[in-house]
Amino acid sequence: MSGITYVRGDATAPHGKGVKIIAHVCNDLGGWGKGFVLALSRRWPEPEAAYRRWHRERARNDFALGAAQFVQVGRYVWVANLVGQRGMRTGRSTGVPVRYEAIDAALGLLAAKAGELGASVHMPRIGCGLAGGTWSRVEPLIAERLTARGIPVTVYDFDA
């Protein structure tokens, strides 16, 4: 039992009361424009702007695989940009961009922020879309880093 709640719906409209952090996985190239980030950008401009600035100024900050950036988008809502994929998949790619160890490290930072805010965490199946990961590898990381520490996690499966 992972302790993760699964629902059908839109992770950009998280369920429940209190402070909520919407988590998703980003690449390490500064690219933002496909997948779940499009839904985020339709709802709030701040996460994309913050991510692009974070990448642009990476020589002077912590931007790297395994890093996390937290952007407040509402009184009770934050977005966590988790850097968990190396590059992006292209037509010439042979492997998948997901980096499980980076997702694991970023989830540790997310756990600390959720604890500090008393927040629940909401997400799509991170690392399993464009990043090419498998949920059977990501779910145990979430269970270990978040739900084992008492942080409520809801995973949203979107019906297009």
Q: How far apart are CA 139 and CA 37, in angstroms?
A: 20
Q: What is the pLDDT of residue 1?
A: 47
Top-confidence residue, 104 or 129:
104
Above 80 in pLDDT, residue 44?
yes
Sheet-wide strand order for 20-27: 4-8, 153-157, 120-123, 20-27, 77-85, 68-72
User: Which residue carries 């997702």 as its tokens?
Assistant: 103
Measured between alpha carbons, how far is residue 56 from residues 29, 30, 53, 112 in Å?
10, 8, 5, 25
Residue 96's pLDDT band (cuts 50, 70, 90): confident
Above 50 in pLDDT, residue 123?
yes
Q: What is the pLDDT of residue 92?
A: 65
Q: How far apart are CA 143 and CA 17, in angstroms?
A: 21
| Interval 10-28: pLDDT, tens | 999 999 999 999 999 999 9
Q: How far apart are CA 24 and CA 45, in angstroms?
A: 15
Q: Model-level pTM?
A: 0.94
DSSP 98: B
| Interval 49-77: pLDDT, tens | 999 999 999 999 999 999 999 999 999 99
